[in-house]
Amino acid sequence: MAFNFFSKSGGEKRSVDVKSLRDALLRFIKEALQKVEGGEGRHIKELLLYVAPIAEEKHLYEGAVYVHEKEVFRNEVQRIADDYAIDLPEDWTIEVLFTDQFPAEASKIPGLDAAFLMHTRRQVAHNASSAIAYIRILNGEAEQEEYIVKATDGKINIGRDKKAVTDNGSYRLNKIIFPAVSDDESNKFISRQHAHIEWNKDAECFMIFADEGGVPPRNKTKIHIAADDKLIKLNSTQIGHPMNEGDQVILGESAVFLFSVKAEG
């Protein structure tokens, strides 16, 4: 079945169906891949397809990119890469994002309400170095209600009070601080050397580690994982846990903070 189709950016009315739309998107992606590094795609990390159709045509785009079967669209791109000897790495990813506005750096696809962007491993590494996250205190009394942590911050210590003397006599400085003098009972169960957060450049994410005061038989460090509603405990100072959007970290008995990569609106 054919549809009367307009581009949001204007242009003549034409007839198009889901298959034709899909073919047009894939053709543009193929041509973009062929231009990268002389057609060698082995350094590509991620592909981003932004789609911003008018409401009446959203279902066309959803069908074109197999919105409910994301792996099928990835397989279509992989098939084209194989046909044209574009050597994509095994772990490449593609994400389709329905949006109201295209990023400035994305390439508009002519005649369609879509834009395309690709990142090489070098670009992803550069972008990752500027990653930030937000630590929002939900329970317990910290010196700030929200802390901003950056990939470039290094080790971000969490604990009771600003300073703590370590076993070798040096001082540990906490950045996320729960004061010892507080009317909030939750603070009493937080160690001076409880946990720390740091950026893992290989995994490209923030990780949380329990420190000596945050593992049994001392105080506790637990993580409520937002994605699957599970609760895990950190029982070793050597094994960290990747932090994801909406995860909640419980320090001691009841002090809680939320991890987010989204700024509050």
Confidence of residue 103 (pLDDT cuts 50, 70, 90): confident
Mean pLDDT value across the chain: 88
Contact 197, 243 (CB under 8 A): yes
Res 20: pLDDT: 94
Confidence of residue 127 (pLDDT cuts 50, 70, 90): low
Confidence of residue 40 (pLDDT cuts 50, 70, 90): low
Q: Check residue 20 and report its DSSP letter.
A: H
DSSP 21-61: HHHHHHHHHHHHHHHGGGG--TTEEEEEEEE---GGGHHHH
CATH 2.60.200.20 fits 130-260, yes or no: yes
SS (H, E, C) 92-117: CEEEEEECCCCCCCCEECCCCCEEEE
Nearest-angstrom CA–CA distance, 38 and 237: 46
Residues 265, 127, 134: CA angle, nearest 5 degrees: 35
Res 3: pLDDT: 44
pLDDT single digits (tens) 211-250 = 999 998 888 999 999 988 999 999 999 999 999 999 999 9
* Domain regions of the chain by residue span: 3-127, 130-260
CATH 3.40.1260 fits 3-127, yes or no: yes
Confidence of residue 121 (pLDDT cuts 50, 70, 90): low
Q: 141: part of which helix (H) or strand (E)? A: none
Is this prediction's pTM over 0.85? no
Contact 49, 94 (CB under 8 A): yes
What does the block give as tokens for 24? 């047009």
Contact 260, 245 (CB under 8 A): yes
Res 2: pLDDT: 41
Res 13: pLDDT: 47
The more confidently predicted of residues 261 and 43 is 261
Confidence of residue 167 (pLDDT cuts 50, 70, 90): confident
Res 33: pLDDT: 87
